[in-house]
Amino acid sequence: MLGLPIDDPGLTAFTAIIQFGAIIAVVLYFRSDISRLVTAWWHGLFRSESRQNQDYRFAWYILAGSIPIGIVGFLARGLIAGSLRNLWVVVAGLILWSAVMFMAELVGKQTRSERSLTLNDSLVIGLVQCIALIPGVSRSGATISAGLFRNLNRVTATRLSFFLAIPALVGAGAYEAVSEAGAVSVTVGWGPVLIGTVVSFVVAYASIAWLLRLVARHPITVFIWYRIALGVVVAALLATGVLSPT
Protein backbone atom coordinates (compact mmCIF):
# COMPACT_ATOMS: atom_id res chain seq x y z
CA MET A 1 0.00 0.00 0.00
CA LEU A 2 2.96 2.32 0.62
CA GLY A 3 4.51 1.47 -2.73
CA LEU A 4 7.59 -0.13 -1.16
CA PRO A 5 9.30 -3.19 -2.73
CA ILE A 6 8.29 -5.91 -0.27
CA ASP A 7 10.94 -8.34 -1.55
CA ASP A 8 13.75 -5.86 -0.88
CA PRO A 9 16.24 -7.18 1.73
CA GLY A 10 16.14 -3.90 3.64
CA LEU A 11 12.36 -3.97 3.94
CA THR A 12 12.41 -7.64 4.92
CA ALA A 13 14.90 -6.78 7.65
CA PHE A 14 12.78 -3.81 8.75
CA THR A 15 9.72 -6.01 9.33
CA ALA A 16 11.81 -8.37 11.45
CA ILE A 17 13.68 -5.72 13.46
CA ILE A 18 10.59 -3.78 14.55
CA GLN A 19 9.37 -6.95 16.28
CA PHE A 20 11.81 -6.07 19.06
CA GLY A 21 9.10 -3.70 20.23
CA ALA A 22 6.62 -6.56 20.48
CA ILE A 23 9.14 -8.69 22.38
CA ILE A 24 9.77 -5.92 24.90
CA ALA A 25 6.01 -5.77 25.40
CA VAL A 26 5.82 -9.54 25.98
CA VAL A 27 8.71 -9.42 28.47
CA LEU A 28 7.16 -6.52 30.38
CA TYR A 29 3.69 -8.05 30.46
CA PHE A 30 4.92 -11.46 31.60
CA ARG A 31 7.84 -10.14 33.67
CA SER A 32 6.78 -11.91 36.88
CA ASP A 33 6.29 -15.22 35.01
CA ILE A 34 9.60 -14.84 33.20
CA SER A 35 11.43 -14.03 36.44
CA ARG A 36 9.92 -17.13 38.07
CA LEU A 37 10.82 -19.35 35.11
CA VAL A 38 14.40 -18.07 34.87
CA THR A 39 14.90 -18.51 38.62
CA ALA A 40 13.50 -22.05 38.57
CA TRP A 41 15.61 -22.95 35.52
CA TRP A 42 18.79 -21.59 37.13
CA HIS A 43 18.19 -23.42 40.40
CA GLY A 44 17.39 -26.62 38.52
CA LEU A 45 20.77 -26.55 36.80
CA PHE A 46 22.53 -27.00 40.14
CA ARG A 47 19.99 -28.66 42.43
CA SER A 48 18.36 -31.97 41.57
CA GLU A 49 15.36 -31.37 43.83
CA SER A 50 14.57 -28.15 41.92
CA ARG A 51 14.22 -30.13 38.70
CA GLN A 52 10.87 -31.42 39.89
CA ASN A 53 9.53 -27.88 39.70
CA GLN A 54 7.03 -27.40 36.86
CA ASP A 55 8.55 -23.98 36.11
CA TYR A 56 11.96 -25.60 35.55
CA ARG A 57 10.47 -28.00 33.01
CA PHE A 58 8.39 -25.25 31.37
CA ALA A 59 11.52 -23.14 30.87
CA TRP A 60 13.19 -26.05 29.09
CA TYR A 61 10.07 -26.59 27.01
CA ILE A 62 10.27 -23.01 25.74
CA LEU A 63 13.94 -23.41 24.83
CA ALA A 64 13.31 -26.76 23.12
CA GLY A 65 10.28 -25.45 21.24
CA SER A 66 12.35 -22.54 19.89
CA ILE A 67 15.00 -24.75 18.28
CA PRO A 68 13.02 -25.77 15.15
CA ILE A 69 12.29 -22.24 13.95
CA GLY A 70 15.88 -21.21 14.60
CA ILE A 71 17.17 -24.02 12.36
CA VAL A 72 14.51 -23.70 9.64
CA GLY A 73 14.63 -19.90 9.66
CA PHE A 74 18.40 -19.91 9.17
CA LEU A 75 18.50 -22.62 6.50
CA ALA A 76 15.55 -21.17 4.54
CA ARG A 77 16.47 -17.50 4.98
CA GLY A 78 17.00 -17.04 1.22
CA LEU A 79 13.56 -18.39 0.40
CA ILE A 80 11.89 -16.42 3.21
CA ALA A 81 13.44 -13.14 2.10
CA GLY A 82 12.98 -13.95 -1.59
CA SER A 83 10.16 -15.73 -3.40
CA LEU A 84 7.91 -15.98 -0.33
CA ARG A 85 7.81 -12.18 -0.11
CA ASN A 86 4.86 -12.07 -2.49
CA LEU A 87 1.34 -10.84 -1.80
CA TRP A 88 -0.18 -13.88 -3.53
CA VAL A 89 1.60 -15.99 -0.91
CA VAL A 90 0.09 -13.76 1.78
CA VAL A 91 -3.39 -14.26 0.30
CA ALA A 92 -2.91 -18.04 0.30
CA GLY A 93 -1.60 -17.98 3.87
CA LEU A 94 -4.49 -15.90 5.14
CA ILE A 95 -7.22 -18.02 3.57
CA LEU A 96 -5.79 -21.54 3.81
CA TRP A 97 -4.61 -21.26 7.42
CA SER A 98 -8.09 -20.05 8.37
CA ALA A 99 -9.28 -23.59 7.61
CA VAL A 100 -6.64 -24.98 9.98
CA MET A 101 -7.77 -22.62 12.73
CA PHE A 102 -11.36 -23.74 12.22
CA MET A 103 -10.37 -27.40 12.49
CA ALA A 104 -8.27 -26.71 15.60
CA GLU A 105 -11.28 -25.28 17.39
CA LEU A 106 -13.50 -28.09 16.09
CA VAL A 107 -11.41 -31.08 17.17
CA GLY A 108 -9.41 -29.69 20.12
CA LYS A 109 -10.81 -30.94 23.43
CA GLN A 110 -9.17 -28.11 25.44
CA THR A 111 -8.96 -30.34 28.51
CA ARG A 112 -5.32 -29.64 29.35
CA SER A 113 -3.83 -26.75 31.35
CA GLU A 114 -0.30 -25.37 31.58
CA ARG A 115 0.66 -27.88 34.28
CA SER A 116 0.05 -30.75 31.85
CA LEU A 117 2.51 -29.49 29.22
CA THR A 118 5.09 -31.99 27.98
CA LEU A 119 8.26 -31.82 25.92
CA ASN A 120 6.38 -33.38 23.00
CA ASP A 121 3.82 -30.56 23.12
CA SER A 122 6.57 -27.97 22.96
CA LEU A 123 8.40 -29.66 20.10
CA VAL A 124 5.23 -30.14 18.03
CA ILE A 125 4.12 -26.54 18.57
CA GLY A 126 7.67 -25.37 17.86
CA LEU A 127 7.67 -27.26 14.56
CA VAL A 128 4.30 -25.78 13.57
CA GLN A 129 5.69 -22.34 14.42
CA CYS A 130 8.03 -22.80 11.45
CA ILE A 131 5.01 -22.67 9.12
CA ALA A 132 4.56 -19.06 10.21
CA LEU A 133 7.70 -18.23 8.22
CA ILE A 134 5.26 -18.21 5.30
CA PRO A 135 3.81 -14.67 5.17
CA GLY A 136 0.09 -14.57 5.92
CA VAL A 137 -0.02 -17.63 8.16
CA SER A 138 0.52 -15.71 11.44
CA ARG A 139 2.92 -16.98 14.11
CA SER A 140 0.30 -16.72 16.85
CA GLY A 141 -2.33 -18.33 14.65
CA ALA A 142 -0.02 -21.25 13.91
CA THR A 143 1.15 -21.89 17.48
CA ILE A 144 -2.27 -21.46 19.11
CA SER A 145 -3.83 -23.79 16.54
CA ALA A 146 -1.13 -26.37 17.24
CA GLY A 147 -1.80 -26.05 20.96
CA LEU A 148 -5.51 -26.67 20.42
CA PHE A 149 -4.75 -29.76 18.33
CA ARG A 150 -2.74 -30.96 21.35
CA ASN A 151 -5.91 -30.48 23.45
CA LEU A 152 -4.51 -27.51 25.40
CA ASN A 153 -7.06 -24.92 26.47
CA ARG A 154 -6.94 -21.62 24.58
CA VAL A 155 -5.36 -19.57 27.40
CA THR A 156 -2.55 -22.11 27.86
CA ALA A 157 -1.94 -22.29 24.11
CA THR A 158 -1.90 -18.50 23.85
CA ARG A 159 0.47 -18.02 26.79
CA LEU A 160 2.84 -20.62 25.38
CA SER A 161 2.64 -18.87 22.00
CA PHE A 162 3.78 -15.59 23.56
CA PHE A 163 6.67 -17.26 25.42
CA LEU A 164 7.83 -19.02 22.24
CA ALA A 165 7.80 -15.65 20.48
CA ILE A 166 10.63 -14.29 22.63
CA PRO A 167 13.54 -16.43 21.33
CA ALA A 168 12.09 -16.65 17.81
CA LEU A 169 11.62 -12.93 17.21
CA VAL A 170 14.73 -11.84 19.11
CA GLY A 171 16.81 -14.20 16.97
CA ALA A 172 15.22 -13.05 13.71
CA GLY A 173 15.47 -9.36 14.56
CA ALA A 174 19.07 -9.58 15.76
CA TYR A 175 20.18 -11.52 12.69
CA GLU A 176 18.54 -9.07 10.28
CA ALA A 177 19.84 -6.03 12.18
CA VAL A 178 23.41 -7.28 11.87
CA SER A 179 23.34 -8.85 8.40
CA GLU A 180 21.20 -6.27 6.59
CA ALA A 181 22.16 -3.05 8.39
CA GLY A 182 23.34 -1.44 5.16
CA ALA A 183 20.21 -2.41 3.23
CA VAL A 184 17.98 -1.03 6.00
CA SER A 185 19.83 2.29 5.86
CA VAL A 186 19.27 2.58 2.10
CA THR A 187 15.70 1.24 1.80
CA VAL A 188 13.92 2.40 4.96
CA GLY A 189 16.31 4.28 7.22
CA TRP A 190 16.89 3.81 10.94
CA GLY A 191 14.53 6.63 11.94
CA PRO A 192 11.47 4.76 10.62
CA VAL A 193 12.85 1.57 12.20
CA LEU A 194 12.87 3.27 15.61
CA ILE A 195 9.35 4.64 15.11
CA GLY A 196 8.10 1.26 13.90
CA THR A 197 9.61 -0.45 16.93
CA VAL A 198 7.91 1.96 19.33
CA VAL A 199 4.55 1.50 17.57
CA SER A 200 5.08 -2.27 17.65
CA PHE A 201 5.62 -2.11 21.42
CA VAL A 202 2.49 -0.05 22.11
CA VAL A 203 0.22 -2.15 19.90
CA ALA A 204 1.65 -5.46 21.16
CA TYR A 205 1.30 -4.55 24.84
CA ALA A 206 -2.35 -3.60 24.37
CA SER A 207 -2.97 -6.68 22.22
CA ILE A 208 -1.56 -9.18 24.72
CA ALA A 209 -3.98 -8.26 27.50
CA TRP A 210 -6.87 -8.03 25.05
CA LEU A 211 -6.09 -11.35 23.37
CA LEU A 212 -5.76 -13.28 26.62
CA ARG A 213 -9.15 -12.01 27.76
CA LEU A 214 -10.67 -12.73 24.35
CA VAL A 215 -9.48 -16.34 24.06
CA ALA A 216 -10.67 -17.07 27.59
CA ARG A 217 -14.25 -16.45 26.40
CA HIS A 218 -14.27 -16.82 22.62
CA PRO A 219 -12.90 -19.30 20.05
CA ILE A 220 -10.07 -18.27 17.74
CA THR A 221 -12.48 -18.72 14.85
CA VAL A 222 -13.54 -15.09 15.44
CA PHE A 223 -10.38 -14.17 13.50
CA ILE A 224 -11.24 -16.34 10.50
CA TRP A 225 -13.68 -13.90 8.95
CA TYR A 226 -11.19 -11.05 9.17
CA ARG A 227 -8.48 -13.22 7.60
CA ILE A 228 -10.69 -14.40 4.73
CA ALA A 229 -12.03 -10.90 4.09
CA LEU A 230 -8.52 -9.44 4.02
CA GLY A 231 -7.33 -12.22 1.73
CA VAL A 232 -10.20 -11.62 -0.70
CA VAL A 233 -9.61 -7.85 -0.71
CA VAL A 234 -5.87 -8.20 -1.34
CA ALA A 235 -6.54 -10.79 -4.07
CA ALA A 236 -8.98 -8.40 -5.76
CA LEU A 237 -6.47 -5.55 -5.60
CA LEU A 238 -3.78 -7.79 -7.08
CA ALA A 239 -6.08 -9.10 -9.83
CA THR A 240 -7.08 -5.57 -10.88
CA GLY A 241 -3.50 -4.31 -10.83
CA VAL A 242 -4.04 -1.85 -7.99
CA LEU A 243 -1.34 -3.64 -5.98
CA SER A 244 1.82 -5.35 -7.21
CA PRO A 245 2.61 -8.82 -5.83
CA THR A 246 6.14 -7.70 -4.88
Q: What is the pLDDT of residue 172?
A: 79
From the CB of residue 218, how many other CB atoms can be counted at a distance below 10 Å? 11
Q: What is the pLDDT of residue 188?
A: 82
Q: What is the pLDDT of residue 185?
A: 83
pLDDT of 4 > 80? The answer is no
Let me know how long the chain is: 246
Mean pLDDT to the nearest integer, 46-58: 89
Mean pLDDT to the nearest integer, 15-38: 91
For residue range 142-201, list pLDDT tens digits in order.
999 999 999 999 999 999 998 998 888 888 788 778 777 788 888 888 898 899 999 999
* pLDDT > 90 in the chain, percent: 57
pTM of the model: 0.86
Residues 233, 158: contact at Cβ < 8 Å? Answer: no
Q: What is the pLDDT of residue 181?
A: 79
Q: What is the pLDDT of residue 108?
A: 94
Which residues are registered as beta bridge partners of 152? 112
- Lowest-confidence region among 2-6, 33-37, 90-94, 102-106: 2-6
What sign results for the dihedral spanned by CA atoms 30, 33, 36, 42?
Answer: negative
Tell me the C-alpha distance between 105 and 220, whole Å: 7
Q: Which residues of 147-184 are buried (b: 16+ CB within 10 A; e: fewer)?
A: bbbbbbbbbbbbbbbbbbbbbbbbbbbebbbeebeebb
Tell me the C-alpha distance between 111 and 130, whole Å: 25
Give, in order, the Cα–Cα distances in Å from 41 to each of 34, 67, 107, 142, 208.
Answer: 10, 17, 34, 27, 25
Q: What is the pLDDT of residue 150?
A: 96
For residue range 55-88, list pLDDT tens digits in order.
999 999 999 999 999 899 888 877 877 778 889 9
What sign results for the dihedral spanned by CA atoms 165, 170, 172, 177?
Answer: positive
For residue range 79-134, list pLDDT tens digits in order.
877 778 889 999 999 999 999 999 999 999 999 998 899 999 999 999 999 999 89
Q: What is the pLDDT of residue 170?
A: 85
Which residues are registered as beta bridge partners of 112? 152
What's phi and psi for 134, nearest 5 deg? -80, 120
